[in-house]
């Protein structure tokens, strides 16, 4: 190669470097060796190696295990839900029955407690005591023996009670509260009858298979 040829090559090389001052021989070499297509191929290869696809057999086993676990759990949940619902229905029915029974027994008991005639007052109020329990039984027995029975006989007092309305306040199979509206007509000897109206809160407790009045509170 002649000196003129060497000079020509040198000038061409200098011209290339002058057009891109930041370029280096190493950059030029790298751009020739690694192209965009080669880079994409390397990425695809790495992706194929690093993310293995689960086999169909493995997914089938997972589904079978899920079925065997979930079906018994669902069956147990449904059975528990049905049991709770049945208990709730039974509890509501028992409370409704207690409310109905207690209202009727509070009505009958109130009439018995406040009604008597002078010639049968001991029998009348004695039968009423059979509807009571607890401290109220003791208090009613003392009051009737000391005041009501002697006064009814001496003054010829007749008392008749009626209940135009009664409503349940609360009720469970063992305890109930009933609001009772009372009209009482009282006759003393040959005097005209005197009518009084009142409202009483009657509390009842179950003793064995019977509802008994445990409180009698005028309101």
Q: For 145-180, give the DSSP string.
A: IIIIHHHHHHHTEEEEEEEEEEEEEEE-SSEEEEEE
More confident residue, 25 or 56: 56
The pLDDT of residue 192 is above 90: yes
Residue 64: the pLDDT is: 62
What is the C-alpha separation between 200 and 113, in angstroms, rounded?
12
C-alpha 175/C-alpha 204 separation (Å) is 6
pLDDT at 42 over 60: no
Q: Looking at the predicted structure, is the pLDDT value of residue 161 above 60?
A: yes
Delineate the domains of the chain, giving CATH numbers in brackets.
Answer: 93-218 (3.10.450.230)
What pLDDT, in 10s, does the model give residues 14-23?
Answer: 444 444 444 4
Q: Measured in Å, how far apart are the chain's first and last C-alpha atoms?
A: 132
The tens digit of pLDDT for each residue in 116-160 reads 999 999 999 999 999 999 999 999 999 999 999 999 999 999 999
Length of the chain, in residues: 219
Q: What is the pLDDT of residue 94?
A: 81
Neighbours of 189 (CB within 10 A): 9
The count of C-alpha atoms lying within 13 angstroms of the C-alpha of 131, restricted to the half-sphere facing its C-beta, is 23
DSSP secondary structure letter of residue 118: T
């Amino acid at each position: 190669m002649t000196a003129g040829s060497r000079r020509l090559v040198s000038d061409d090389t200098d011209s290339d470097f002058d057009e891109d001052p930041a370029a280096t021989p190493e950059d030029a070499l790298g751009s020739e060796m690694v192209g965009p297509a080669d880079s994409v191929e390397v990425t695809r290869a790495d992706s194929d190696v690093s993310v293995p696809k689960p086999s169909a057999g493995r997914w089938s086993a997972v589904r079978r295990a899920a079925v065997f676990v979930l079906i018994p759990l669902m069956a147990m949940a449904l059975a528990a839900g049905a049991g709770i619902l049945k208990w709730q229905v039974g509890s509501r029915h028992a409370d409704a029955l207690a409310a109905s029974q207690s209202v009727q027994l509070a009505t009958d008991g109130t009439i018995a407690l406040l009604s008597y005639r002078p010639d049968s007052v001991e029998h009348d109020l004695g039968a009423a005591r059979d509807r009571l329990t607890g401290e109220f039984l003791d208090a009613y027995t003392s009051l009737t023996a000391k005041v009501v029975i002697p006064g009814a006989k001496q003054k010829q007092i007749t008392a008749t009670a009626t209940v135009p309305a009664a409503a349940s306040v609360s009720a469970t199979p063992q305890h109930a509260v009933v609001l009772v509206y009372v009209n009482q007509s009282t006759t003393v000897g040959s005097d005209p009858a005197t009518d009084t109206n009142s409202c009483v809160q009657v509390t009842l407790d179950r003793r064995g298979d019977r509802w008994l009045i445990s409180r009698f509170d005028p309101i």
